[in-house]
Amino acid sequence: MSVLKVIELLGNSTKSFEDAVKNVIDEASKTIKNIKSVYIKDMQVKVDNNQISEYRVNAKVTFGIMEE
C-alpha cells in the first residue's frame, strides 16, 4: 500500500506558465523526493504597462511517502 502527500506551492516566471510550473518542480525536488504529479489549481498573470510581466501558478504537488 502506498501513501501519498499533497502540498500546495506557488511558482512564478517571467517567461511562461510552463516555465512557472517547471520552477515549482525544480524547487520542490530540492527537498522532496518521489514527486508523482503536479495539479495546477490556479493560473494568473501580473500586468505592467498593459504587458504581461509575470506568470504565476498555484500548484498542488503530490509525492510518495518514503518507507524506512
Q: Looking at residue 28, what is its pLDDT?
A: 96
Please tell me whether the overall predicted TM-score, pTM, comes out greater than 0.75 for this model.
yes
pLDDT tens digits, one per residue of 7-37: 999 999 999 999 999 999 999 999 999 999 9
Q: Looking at residue 3, what is its pLDDT?
A: 86
Q: Looking at residue 65, what is its pLDDT?
A: 86
Q: What is the mean pLDDT of the chain?
A: 94
Strands (E), the chain: 4-13, 35-48, 51-64
Residue with cell 524506512: 68
Per-residue pLDDT band at 1 (split at 50, 70, 90): low
